[in-house]
Amino acid sequence: MFLLVIKRIFLGLITLFIVSLITFVGVEILPGDACTTYLEREAYGAALEACYERLGLNIPSYERYISWALGVFQGDFGYSLSGEMKINDVLGPRVKNSMVLASASIFIGIPIALLLGIITALWRDKLPDIIISTITIFSMTIPEFISATLLILIVAIWLEWLPGIVIVPTGASISELLPNIILPVIAISMIMTAHMARMVRSSVIQVMASDYVQMAILKGVPYWKMVFKHVLPNALLPAINVVALTIAWLLGGVVVTEVVFNYPGLGRLVIESISNRDLPVVQALAIILASIYVTINLIADLMTLILNPRLKSLQIKK
Amino acid sequence: MENVEQKQKSIFQKVFEIIKTMASKPSGLIGLIILSFHVLLALTSPFYVPYDYKAIDPSLMLQAPSSEYWFGTDSLGRDVFTRTILGGRTALTVTFFGSLIALIWGGSLGIFCGLVGGKIDDVVMRIIDAFLSIPWILAMLLIVSLLGTTTIVLIPALGFFYGKGIVRVARAATHDVIAKDFIVSARARGHSNLSIIWNEILPNVRDAIMVEGAMRWSWMLLGFSSLSFLGFGVSPPTPDWGLMISNARGLMSFAYWAVLAPIFGLSSLIIGINLTADAFAKALGIDRSTKAPV
């Protein structure tokens, strides 16, 4: 059990190491570098040399990778393209804003998803299921930017209930963010909830069809007692992993949603840094987002491990 | 020769039967109808669009829908109806060929890994895991911003990024059949690896890979439109739904029609593809609803 946990963490670290290699090599082999994009047309002669000198691009790439990776390991991402701002200072408030947005969506989304998933599974193919399932299919297939745009159009422009676009500075406090955050949270949690509700639904349906539940029904166990004692614990365990993967997958959607609402989080920073070709920041973002993904998956694996006694003696098969 | 003909006929029959099963449920039928409508529209729309999609006319700016301009005009005075019915062509072409590339490379690498196993498999799967943990949008944006937004770049880039999930599915499906008796006996008969892959494994994993590919198609469409929306997809005069939504968004408090028309186009196509893919999976007896959208 303990060994297994260590192994999972180790595998996660290897994944992160490969991610760092991929982004570093990717940025290296793609045409152009930080200096040529920064200086644009003046990228020749002394100015280019000076820029290389300043950003340390004149030393061999493997040495640069090692020093960069060591810095990242200690939580130092170096300087952004212009060389004036520390990337840590750029990232700090953005990370906080995105965390506020994501955790609000998760805390609202997961309970609703569980509820909807269980309802649709227990009333399978009846009216509640048909209505809820149709809505979830719609909200999970429609792209984030469409549902976000429609939300702004309907709630902010036509009904004038809430502000449609976030106009707070990057360093705003949580209380300042609060009224602005409602629409983005709805937009993100709508898709997330739909995905998770679908998975919970099919997981519960599978367990309901299993032999021991049939046995419990035959034995005359009261319906709700059976649902809570026999079905849900067994149905929700396998769902944890899938839910984690979904949350991680939705990171991409968060980027788009933040852009639609002009929300000062990591997502908008992705777009800004790529538009400015600020490659050091892009590298830092890749590592951060990948670590979030790896961490979420790790937590999910560990949770399944802790909650499922059967797995304690087994290897997790991926 | 007779044999070949017979085999071909049976493939057509099989396809026909699958489509019949798909259409037997209302959701599958709706999906098929929407999808074929969009494909037909994309193939034929250039022949009957009422206006020129790039004709800019300032005097016609932001006109409300009328009998002359069915869906109104946008902020540059272009006919929204024309641009909407043309708007799916690039998206459909790029994502269709992208999915094909994803299917081919993802499927072959997955089967290869499943068959070979051992160290090579471990290393490849680690790398695939690493690629999976980079958010697709970051990687796509980086590629597109450095290499340009032409279809030549977009198709392989999308194909590559959406293929890594197929690798996993193909590998898992191969693992399921690899220990079966018929593979062991093919090995004992002295068949080469290539012959085993083609004759024994492929027929058994084809369904799973194709279903995965169909799902990838709708996600790729979502990804492609998101790129267009963010301004990293097709370049401006080309009519494209994502781009149209992003352009019309700023003025939607006056001209909601310019944003609603492409929204309707894109949403209906994505829903159509999804319903079709779901029905396809069910027709082949594969349940996808418990899988995460990685």
Mind listing the pLDDT tens digit for each residue in A256-294?
Answer: 888 888 888 887 888 887 777 777 777 788 888 888 878
Q: Does A192 touch chain B (CB under 8 A)?
A: no
Whether residue B130 and residue A30 make contact (CB cut-off 8 A), yes or no, is no
Which of A13-17, A248-252, B132-136 is predicted most confidently?
A13-17
**What was the pLDDT predicted at A317?**
44
Helices assigned H by DSSP within A74-159: 87-122, 127-141, 144-151
Q: Which residues pair with B73 in a beta bridge?
A: B79
Decide if B289 is inside a domain. Answer: no
- Whether B175 and B114 have beta carbons less than 8 Å apart is answered as yes
Decide if B6 is inside a domain. Answer: no
- The token duo for B1 is 């020769």
Q: Which residues contact A173 (CB under 8 A, 6 or more apart)?
A: none
CA distance B157 to B220: 11
Decide if A64 is inside a domain. Answer: no
| Residue B124 phi, psi (nearest 5) | -60, -45
Residues of chain B with Cβ-Cβ distance to A32 below 8 Å are: 146
**What was the pLDDT predicted at A315?**
47
Query: What does the DSSP 8-state code read for residue A277?
Result: T
Q: Which of B133, B143, B146 sits opposite A293 (nearest CB)?
A: B133
Confidence of residue B156 (pLDDT cuts 50, 70, 90): confident
Q: For the CA atoms of A228, B290, B222, B248, what is the dihedral angle to 10 degrees?
A: -20
Q: Which secondary-structure segment (H or E) carries B144?
A: helix B136-147
Least confident residue range of A84-88, A218-222, B89-93? A84-88
Q: Which residues contact B164 (CB under 8 A, 6 or more apart)?
A: B106, B128, B131, B132
Whether A313 shows a pLDDT value over 60: the answer reads: no
Confidence of residue A316 (pLDDT cuts 50, 70, 90): very low
Decide if B190 is inside a domain. Answer: yes
Please state, rounded to an integer, the average pLDDT across all residues of chain B. 78
| Residue B293 phi, psi (nearest 5) | -80, 70
Q: Which residues pair with A79 in a beta bridge?
A: A86
Cα radius of gyration rounded to whole Å, chain B: 22
Calculate mean pLDDT across residues A238-242.
72
Decide if A28 is inside a domain. Answer: no
Whether residue A289 and residue B289 make contact (CB cut-off 8 A), yes or no, is no
**What was the pLDDT predicted at B69?**
67
Decide if A65 is inside a domain. Answer: no
Q: Which of A27, A242, A285 sits opposite B292 (nearest CB)?
A: A242
- The token duo for B215 is 């799902």
Please state, rounded to an integer, the average pLDDT across all residues of chain A. 76
Query: Can you state the percent helix, strand and coil of chain B, rounding each to 5?
Result: 75, 0, 25
Q: Does A268 touch chain B (CB under 8 A)?
A: no
**What was the pLDDT predicted at A105?**
83
Picking from A176, A188, A196, A171, the residue whose alpha carbon sits closest to that of residue A101 is: A188
Q: What is the CATH number of the domain that holds A149?
A: 1.10.3720.10
Whether residue B290 and residue A285 make contact (CB cut-off 8 A), yes or no, is no
Q: What is the CATH number of the domain that holds B103?
A: 1.10.3720.10
Q: Which residues pair with B79 in a beta bridge?
A: B73
Which value does ipTM take for this structure?
A: 0.74
- Whether B110 and B171 have beta carbons less than 8 Å apart is answered as yes
Residues of chain A with Cβ-Cβ distance to B253 below 8 Å are: 157
Mind listing the pLDDT tens digit for each residue in A36-51?
Answer: 666 666 666 666 667 6
Give me the number of domains chain A comprises.
1
Give me the number of domains chain B comprises.
1
- The C-alpha angle with vertex B138 and arms to A30 and B233, in degrees rounded to 5, equals 80
Q: How many CA atoms are closer than 13 Å to the CA of A51, on its beta-carbon side?
A: 18
Q: For the CA atoms of A135, A141, A143, A147, what is the dihedral angle to 10 degrees?
A: -10
Q: Which of A:279-308 have CB within 8 Å of B? A: 282, 285-286, 289-290, 293-294, 297
Decide if B5 is inside a domain. Answer: no
Picking from B137, B172, B102, B290, the residue whose alpha carbon sits closest to that of residue A293 is: B137
Question: What residue numbers bound the domain in which B212 lies?
Answer: 14-283
CA distance A83 to B108: 44
**What was the pLDDT predicted at A164?**
66
Decide if A88 is inside a domain. Answer: no
Calculate mean pLDDT across residues B153-169.
83
Report in angstroms the alpha-carbon separations of A54 from A33, A75, B73: 14, 21, 51
- Whether A198 and A140 have beta carbons less than 8 Å apart is answered as yes
Residue A114 Cα to chain centre, angstroms = 19
Q: Which of B127, B249, B275 sits opposite A18 (nearest CB)?
A: B127
CA distance A152 to A160: 9
Question: What percent of chain A clears pLDDT 70, i.e. is strictly above it?
Answer: 76
| Residue B192 phi, psi (nearest 5) | -75, 165
Mind listing the pLDDT tens digit for each residue in B140-153?
Answer: 877 777 777 777 78
Helix axes A251-260, A144-151, angle to 10 degrees: 30
Query: What does the DSSP 8-state code read for residue B200?
Result: I
Decide if A265 is inside a domain. Answer: yes
CA distance B203 to B10: 14
**What was the pLDDT predicted at B293?**
46
Picking from A103, A131, A101, the residue whose alpha carbon sits closest to that of residue A116 is: A131
Q: Which residues pair with B180 in a beta bridge?
A: none
- Burial (Cβ within 10 Å: 0-12, 13-18, ≥19) of residue A242: buried
Q: Which of B:223-262 have CB within 8 Å of A? A: 223, 225-226, 229-230, 232, 242, 245-246, 249, 252-253, 256, 259-260
Question: What residue numbers bound the domain in which A157 lies?
Answer: 95-317
Q: Which of B130, B146, B226 sits opposite A15 (nearest CB)?
A: B130
Per DSSP, the three-state class of A194 is helix
Residue count of chain A: 318
Whether B18 shows a pLDDT value over 70: the answer reads: yes
Q: Does B263 touch chain A (CB under 8 A)?
A: yes
Q: Which residues contact B200 (CB under 8 A, 6 or more apart)?
A: B177, B182, B183, B186, B191
Q: Does B61 touch chain A (CB under 8 A)?
A: no
Helix axes A279-307, B136-147, angle to 10 degrees: 160
Q: How many CB pairs under 8 A join A and B?
A: 145
Whether residue B256 and residue A153 make contact (CB cut-off 8 A), yes or no, is yes
Q: Which of B133, B146, B263 sits opposite A31 (nearest CB)?
A: B146
Decide if A104 is inside a domain. Answer: yes
Decide if A21 is inside a domain. Answer: no
- The token duo for B109 is 């690498």
